[in-house]
Chain A
Amino acid sequence: MEANTRSTGRLPAAFLTPGSSSFMDFLAEHQPELLPGNRQLPPTQGVIEAPHGTTIVAVTFPGGVVLAGDRRATMGNVIAQRDIEKVFPADEYSAVGIAGTAGLAVEMVKLFQLELEHFEKVEGAQLSLEGKANRLSTMIRSNLGMAMQGLAVVPLFAGYDLDREKGRIFSYDVTGGRSEEHNFAATGSGSIFARGAMKKLFRDDLTEEQAATLVVQALYDAADDDSATGGPDVARRIYPIITVITEDGFRRLTEQEASELSRAVLQKRLEEPDGPKAALL
């Protein structure tokens, strides 16, 4: 039977065959050409030029986790896009921020969101946070071929663990290697600078609002030293995307909230360009 959803006929046999609850497994069997990992790249000379997303940061606080990203995409030394979105809800209790080749990363997020939703609908229950993190790992691993050609995708995954009742952060390398990060994490070209800022500012007892301010500070420092990371763009009213995940689920800060936080940070930086000072001892 023609395995084709475009026809209006009956459901193809594959649709009614009992199988796994994974959408990716279903695609692999039914329409493998739709899986990004199965794409064959022609041999190329040098690195392929494509827009790259840059810095993503995450911080935990008692009761949840904040995941945020700047808005710049670069292609070589050109700013490809000023208002790109790089932080997405993965499901009700988790979010994913992406650095690396923008096109592939956005596609990966779309498939990841669908994977979690599909499982939830078929099983009638959510995957554990650990399970979600592992699933993302598999997806990155399947992209290794393209990563070797310069089209790497390196996400940061954060979520609220309903079993352990706390926010957790997972970082990845291009081979799909996964590691849980404690307190804070960053990925992308500006991550080294962001991580330095977070290391100095992080405390165990941050409130949700303080954690959100902390990530804005970190992104500001990343943009300060990394040309591929964009700072808050007051003239165009483009501010970082800041998301908070708590027991109540995923929430993206409104334009208004993000602008207020960014403006407050900018205002202070007019007085102290290097930001808040940590104690020496």
Chain B
Amino acid sequence: MSTPFYVSPQQAMADRAEYARKGIARGRSLVVLQYADGIVFVGENPSRALHKFSEIYDRIGFAAAGKYNEYENLRIGGVRYADLRGYTYDRDDVTARGLANVYAQTLGTIFSSAAEKPYEVELVVAEVGETPEGDQIYRLPHDGSIVDEHGSVAVGGNAEQISSFLDQRHRDGMSLAEALKLAVQALSRDTNGSEREIPAERLEVAVLDRTRPQKRKFKRIVGRQLDRLLAADGASTEAESSAEDGSEEQ
């Protein structure tokens, strides 16, 4: 009988991480941005039915890049976790922090268990607060680590480039149309720096809008509303933002 080769723990983990990262990089990236009235999720997704973004609970949204069946499984687990917790205690006791912790533990256990293949997913869990200061965004890479993000976050294969692009341009208090335009710009940039056009029908957009009167703040933006917001990137928002800038200077 042959003796198995010795593989150092470092090497084993590095191999697993590389495997997961490669899987994630095959899918398209997506971005999550804070804007004045909430949090917007933007991604390129040709499918109308298989979503990358979805509602978990009243104020909590979910975004994922990577392997569909794996993140869908995690999403449903999260919905079950949130609904059960809200049913046992109170709706207010369901928080993004709690959910992010559970996801981190789940991903972490799977990543370090030799019996399981690591999940090829990267998640974002976001909760919209009463005010922009109360917004929470958590990024959860494949290995179960957890990163508390502010302003903007990108996940997926090209995430680093997109992140740095967003970091330079994102500012607090952007309007939805401005944030959306910035997100699309960021997603349109290819790894080699060239730009390509992403048509509106290939975009998946959703928001957690704190101004919605319903207790459930998650809303998909589709069809005419999406076209209107994308078209609004011209004169009206320019005027709006310059007016805002002006008032800041005073």
- Which A residues fall within an 8 A CB radius of B? 5, 8-11, 15-16, 18, 23, 26-27, 30-31, 34, 110-111, 114, 117-118, 121-122, 124
Residues of chain A lying within 8 A (CB to CB) of residue B110: 10
Can you list, as one digit per residue, whether each of B66-83 has a CB less than 8 Å from chain A (1) or not (0)? 000000011011111101
Residues of chain B lying within 8 A (CB to CB) of residue A117: 83, 216
Which of B77, B98, B101 sits near A15, CB closer than 8 Å? B77
| Chain A interface helix/strand/loop/mixed | helix
Residues of chain B lying within 8 A (CB to CB) of residue A34: 87-88
Give the distance in Å from the alpha carbon of A30 to the alpha carbon of B78 in the complex. 15
Give the distance in Å from the alpha carbon of A23 to the alpha carbon of B84 in the complex. 8
Residues of chain A lying within 8 A (CB to CB) of residue B49: 124
**Any A CB within 8 A of the CB of B191:** no
Give the distance to chain B from A253, nearest Cβ to Cβ, in Å.
15
B77 to A5, Cβ gap below 8 A? no
B84 to A121, Cβ gap below 8 A? no
Residues of chain A lying within 8 A (CB to CB) of residue B85: 5
Subset of 15 A-B contacts with CB under 8 Å = A5-B88, A8-B105, A10-B106, A10-B108, A11-B106, A15-B77, A15-B81, A16-B73, A16-B106, A118-B79, A118-B83, A121-B55, A121-B56, A122-B76, A124-B54
Which of B78, B83, B106 sits near A23, CB closer than 8 Å? B83
Can you list, as one digit per residue, whether each of B207-230 has a CB less than 8 Å from chain A (1) or not (0)? 000000000100000000000000
Residues of chain B lying within 8 A (CB to CB) of residue A8: 98, 101-102, 105
Residues of chain A lying within 8 A (CB to CB) of residue B241: none
Residues of chain B lying within 8 A (CB to CB) of residue A118: 79-80, 83
Residues of chain A lying within 8 A (CB to CB) of residue B181: none
Given contacts A15-B81, A124-B54, 12 further A-B contacts (CB under 8 A): A5-B85, A5-B88, A9-B102, A9-B105, A10-B108, A11-B77, A15-B76, A16-B106, A31-B84, A117-B83, A117-B216, A122-B76
Residues of chain A lying within 8 A (CB to CB) of residue B51: 124
B87 to A121, Cβ gap below 8 A? no
**Any A CB within 8 A of the CB of B109:** yes
B79 to A16, Cβ gap below 8 A? no
Give the distance to chain B from A110, nearest Cβ to Cβ, in Å.
7
Residues of chain A lying within 8 A (CB to CB) of residue B74: 11, 16
Q: Provided the pairs A8-B102, A9-B105, A121-B56 are in contact, do residues A18 and B73 lie with their beta carbons within 8 angstroms?
A: yes
Residues of chain A lying within 8 A (CB to CB) of residue B80: 15, 23, 26, 118
Chain B residue, CB-CB nearest to A111 = B87
Q: Provided the pairs A16-B74, A16-B77 are in contact, do residues A10 and B105 lie with their beta carbons within 8 angstroms?
A: yes
Chain B residue, CB-CB nearest to A250 = B214
Give the distance in Å from the alpha carbon of A118 to the alpha carbon of B79 in the complex. 7
A114 to B83, Cβ gap below 8 A? yes
Residues of chain B lying within 8 A (CB to CB) of residue A5: 81, 84-85, 88
Give the distance to chain B from A30, nearest Cβ to Cβ, in Å.
8
Can you list, as one digit per residue, whether each of B18-58 has a CB less than 8 Å from chain A (1) or not (0)? 00000000000000000000000000000001010011100
Residues of chain B lying within 8 A (CB to CB) of residue A9: 102, 105, 109
Give the distance in Å from the alpha carbon of A117 to the alpha carbon of B87 in the complex. 12
Residues of chain B lying within 8 A (CB to CB) of residue A18: 73, 76
Residues of chain B lying within 8 A (CB to CB) of residue A16: 73-74, 76-77, 106
B49, B56, B98, B106 pick with most chain A CB within 10 angstroms: B106
Give the distance in Å from the alpha carbon of A26 to the alpha carbon of B78 in the complex. 13
